Amino acid sequence: MEKSNKGVKLVGFWVSPFVQRVKWGMKLKGIEYDYIEEDIFNKSPLLSQLNPLTGKVPVLVHDGNPLPESAIILEYLDERWPHAPLLPLDPYERAQARFWARFVEEKILESTRLAALRSEGEIQEREVKLAIEHLEKMEEKLGGKSRFFFGDDTIGYVDLMMGFVAYILPVWEEITAVRILDAARFPNLAAWKNNFLNHPVIKDDLPSKDEMLTYFQWRRKVNLKKI
Amino acid sequence: MATSSVKLLGARQSPFVNRVVMALLMKSINYELVEMNPYLKPELLIKTNPVHKKIPVLLHGDRPICESLIIVQYIDEAWTNGPSILPTDPYDCAIARFWAAFFDDKIREAEGEDAKELVLEKIFEAFVLLEEAFINCSKGKAFFGGDSVGYLDIVVGSFVVYIRVAEMMNGIKILDETKTPRLVGWAERLYSDSSLKDVLMDPQLLLEQLKRFQAMMSEAASD
């Protein structure tokens, strides 16, 4: 059997939304690769060797060259495999995409993760409030006109960066009994979530909800004992 | 695109603004610097950068682009004549982006520290790791970008003047001949024979400006 382009490896962890983005990116571009599952609580020498600076997943290895950081990996995939582009082609649109990707990462991911996994009481309330404020900006961005971000009918960079909102945030909301993404308050985001989860590349490649529930419940318990 | 006006909202004391100045210089782009003090929350800044209300903001025609790293990449992509700022090889480009993001994370961490010793420690840590980055990226040549300046030279180079000022004010060494020898050499080359030397700020001048600013603040406080 012919093996195509196995010069690509992805080191990941099953539940990491950062790894998941890269998997989606690879699938959208039809890139074949070897996947190496890493237990991040019991890291192998391979991971320390590939990403000595932070020891985090994902790490892409292409022709022996390692590259960490999901956002940077996605841009790299776009440059190496330019078909089915993830980022817009116009420089101004690209700048916008990069801006919102960073906003998603630094504001939305931060606040939702803190609220769900690392806080309770007043601090949690504050983070939930912040998360809602930040999501309002994404709601506005969607404008209710297009299926995905940036007036597009195809999934792109910002959709992938936002992806965790579609499939992990509901799990987080369940374990903490907080409501962040209320469909009534965020109709555009609710529609986007639906479009996203029903996309052929996305829907067949998500971790099991039960396994995610168990995992994140455990993480929350561990993190709160530290507070 | 080439005929639209270019305005840069910011202040020359900001290293983030200086990154953009350097990129504009590299591409020989004519622009107008619109002096802006972000602490005063000027209307134009709020309008063009409503999310973060920070400088720099590049206005190309009437379209705003925010965040220094994003602006530099935009300049590289929108003006295709002139030297490339980012490496042309996709892997080298990705690695440059990685180190730029890493450096900015460290700056953010340092800004988050209250104690001065911790701020300086974080910055020193960052430069020790950047020494490694320099070895990888320069591949034995003069700059992060190789024979001539590139993305990382701009990203990190804009901070050298602040490092020098911090060294002078605290009597310490951050760029150190024993711990970061290659970066010491790189900083000297940046200031003496790079295409950017005319826009890099003079540390002594910045120190004097900061001292005057501090004096002004304490005078205002004692009124």
Q: Torsions phi, psi of A49, nearest 5?
A: -75, -40
The set of residues, in sequence order, having a beta carbon less than 8 Å from that of A217 and lying 6+ positions away, is A175
- The β-bridge partners of B7 are B32, B59
Give the per-residue pLDDT at A151.
64
pLDDT tens for each residue of A117-156: 999 999 999 999 999 999 999 999 887 777 788 767 889 9
Residue A226: the pLDDT is 64
Q: Which residues of A touch B137 (CB under 8 A)?
A: none
pLDDT at B210: 81
Spatial distance between the Cα atoms of B151 and B73, rounded to a whole number of angstroms: 8
CB contact under 8 A, A91 and B71: no
Rounded to a whole number, what is the distance in Å from the CA of B217 to chain A's nearest CA?
Answer: 32
**Distance from A159 to chain B by nearest Cα, in Å?**
19
Is A110 within 8 Å of chain B by CB? no
Q: Does B29 touch chain A (CB under 8 A)?
A: no
Closest CB to B97 among A65, A75, A91: A75
Distance (Å) from the alpha carbon of B95 to chain A's nearest alpha carbon: 7
**Residue A61: other Cβ atoms inside 10 A:** 18
Closest chain A residue to B76 measured between Cα atoms? A91
pLDDT-derived band at B2, boundaries 50, 70, 90: low
Higher pLDDT, B115 or A13: A13
- Provide the strand spans (E) within chain A: 8-12, 34-37, 59-62, 65-68
**Distance, CA of A161 to CA of A69 (rounded, Å):** 12
Mean per-residue pLDDT over chain A, rounded: 92
Distance from C-alpha of A86 to C-alpha of A115, rounded to nearest angstrom: 30
CA angle, B59 as apex, A155 and A93 as ends, to 5°?
Answer: 10
Residue A120 phi, psi (nearest 5): -145, 175
Is B12 within 8 Å of B162 (Cβ atoms)?
no
To probe the interface with A, which of B65, B72, B81, B129 has the most A CB atoms within 10 Å?
A: B65
**B71–A contact, CB cutoff 8 A:** yes
pLDDT digits (tens, 9 = 90+) for A160-185: 999 999 999 999 999 998 899 999 99
What is residue A210's predicted lDDT score, i.e. its pLDDT? 97
Q: What is the mean pLDDT of residues B14-29?
A: 95
User: Does A137 lie at the interface with B, CB-CB under 8 angstroms?
Assistant: yes
B135 touches chain A (CB under 8 A): no
Q: Is B71 exposed, middle or buried (0-12, 13-18, 19+ CB in 10 A)?
A: buried
Is it the case that residue B207 has pLDDT exceeding 80? yes
Contact of A69 with chain B, judged by CB distance below 8 Å, is answered with yes
User: How far apart, in whole angstroms, are the C-alpha atoms of residue B72 and residue B65?
Assistant: 10
Closest-CA distance, B16 to chain A, in angstroms, reads 16
Tell me what the mean pLDDT of segment B144-151 comes to.
96
Amino acid at B110: A
| Percent of chain B surpassing pLDDT 70 | 97
- Would you state the pLDDT for residue B214? 77
For chain B positions 91-130, those within 8 Å of chain A (CB to CB) are 91, 93-95, 97-98, 101-102, 129
Write the residue in A53, A72, A99 that is nearest to B94 by C-beta: A72
**How many angstroms separate the CA atoms of A20 and A75, rounded?**
15
Considering chain A, what percentage of its residues have pLDDT values greater than 90?
Answer: 88
Q: Select from A61, A69, A72 the residue whose CB has the most chain B CBs within 10 Å, as the one to mutate to test that interface.
A: A72
Is there a contact between A76 and B94 if contact means CB atoms under 8 Å apart?
yes
Indicate whether this complex's ipTM tops 0.85: yes
CA-based nearest distance B136→chain A, Å: 12
B96 touches B151 (CB < 8 A): yes
